Amino acid sequence: MSQSINTKCVQAGYTPGNGEPRQIPIIQSTTFKYDTSEDMGKLFDLEASGYFYSRLQNPTCDYVAAKIAALEGGTAGMLTSSGQAANFFALFNICEAGSHIVSSSSIYGGTFNLISVTMKKMGIDVTFVSPDCTEEELNSAFRDNTRAVFGETIANPALTVLDIEKFAKAAHAHGVPLIIDNTFPTPVNCRPIEWGADIVTHSTTKYMDGHGAAVGGAIVDSGKFDWMAHKDKFPGLTTPDDSYHGITYAEKFGKEGAFITKATAQLMRDLGTVQSPQSAFYLNLGLESLHVRMPRHVENGQAVAEFLAAHPAVAKVNYSGLPGDKYYEIAKKYLPNGGCGVVSFELKGGRNAAMSFMKKLKLCAIETHVADARTCCLNPATSTHRQMTDEQLEAAGIPAGLVRMSCGLEDKADLIADLAQALED
């Protein structure tokens, strides 16, 4: 029976049996006991499914991963300790020294650094392309050793909206998967797999948790990418893994299971960035109301964006729900119910105006965070990007007077009143 995303937010991933807990149990145990060595051996050989050590898998984390996979419409999912770990695993599961990635240039700063600095040190190259590039520009970024294409549905913090179909078409024409970080819209507002994405990642730290309570990440596989059809490109999935009893993941687990099984059995085994069962429990509490919260975040984001766009002290507002925004048309296609609650805007008075405006805010707190229940804001020029000069900031598309505001779940009239008093001279 196919279910609405609203129902999946509440119930997917865990179905208790007779007399079992209604809420997902927190299995706070590092290890699991077996009667015989033969039983345990089958688990190690991936011949039977079951648990033996929580660095690899834990039931609480698996319930929540299954829920996120159901929300995205994928075939398998896993949790990671953070969004950073999710994006690293998604890429490193199919890239190695000598590989190349094509990535949208408009992505989260941490991911930009991961790909352009840390993965570069591992011998993995990248070509960044504008999310607004033409098909020709996109196609010309590929090389023989390209193994993945990466982008964000709504980029943090630039708020660009990705043409997922354009990126999927180019990736598939070159025989590689498209990986989409879907953190900002969440599957409630966009499901990239429906538009051709092969792998979806999340920083669950943001809207999925939604209460600023637990750092975490997730990876979902669409089960659609045919690794065996591109055998030479993905030897890690299509040839025997000597470090895992000679298993060939794509043969043994098929298109539906190979990617997540390899990421778990190999990357999680060796790198160990697990989410704790306790964090997964908090994450699940957030997911239970995600479909109720996202429309409110969008409503507040839209109202704040409209108020700011009409204010004389404001030079520019970036929000894809505003008619006239560069991404308004594309957002109508990919985000028909709205995107998220994050708005960015530039004050006419530049850096000093941004600082004095933020000092006067009462409801909206200054934080290096986005996407939780409480409204917060940040001036990149005086915080995350403070090493840059005003000229460098301008060139990077982050003017000194830019404020990023994440609209929470408060009443929009109160948020607007707070902004209005803070914008008064």
Ligand X SMILES: *Cc1c(COP(=O)(O)O)cnc(C)c1O
Q: Which is nearer to ligand X, 154 or 308 (CB)?
A: 154
Whole-number Å distance between alpha carbons of 181 and 354 = 29
Q: Give the footprint of ligand X on residues 358-387 (CB under 6 A).
A: none
Distances (CA, A) of 122 to 107, 114, 115: 20, 11, 10
- Of 181, 198, 221, 306, the one binding ligand X by CB under 6 A: 181
* Cβ–Cβ < 8 Å for 276, 82: no
222 binds ligand X (CB under 6 A): no
* Helices 412-423 and 350-360, axial angle in degrees (round to 10): 130
* Cβ–Cβ < 8 Å for 365, 374: yes
Question: Closest Cα partner for 267 from 92, 8, 82?
Answer: 92
* Cβ–Cβ < 8 Å for 14, 66: yes
Residue nearest to ligand X (CB): 83
404 binds ligand X (CB under 6 A): no
- State the DSSP H helix or E strand holding residue 304, giving kind and residue range, or none if neither: helix 290-309
* Cβ–Cβ < 8 Å for 268, 58: no
Looking at 202-210, 293-301, 335-343, 379-387, which segment touches ligand X (CB under 6 A)? 202-210
Is 366 exposed, middle or buried (CB count within 10 Å of its CB: 0-12, 13-18, 19+)?
A: middle
293 binds ligand X (CB under 6 A): no
- Of 57, 58, 60, 82, the one binding ligand X by CB under 6 A: 82
* Cβ–Cβ < 8 Å for 250, 221: no
CB of 152 to ligand X, least distance (A): 5
Binding mask 27-66 for ligand X (x = CB under 6 A): ----------------------------------------
Q: Which is nearer to ligand X, 69 or 85 (CB)?
A: 85
- Of 32, 34, 52, 110, the one binding ligand X by CB under 6 A: 110
- Of 108, 150, 334, 357, the one binding ligand X by CB under 6 A: 108
Q: Which is nearer to ligand X, 289 or 384 (CB)?
A: 384
206 binds ligand X (CB under 6 A): yes
205 binds ligand X (CB under 6 A): yes
- As given in the structure block, the two tokens for residue 212 are 């600023």
CB of 231 to ligand X, least distance (A): 31
276 binds ligand X (CB under 6 A): no
| Intra-chain end-to-end CA distance of the chain, in Å | 58
Whole-number Å distance between alpha carbons of 378 and 251 = 48
183 binds ligand X (CB under 6 A): yes
Q: Which is nearer to ligand X, 180 or 258 (CB)?
A: 180
- State the DSSP H helix or E strand holding residue 166, giving kind and residue range, or none if neither: helix 164-173
Give residues in contact with ligand X (CB under 6 A).
Answer: 82-84, 87, 108, 110-111, 152, 156, 181, 183, 203, 205-206, 215, 217
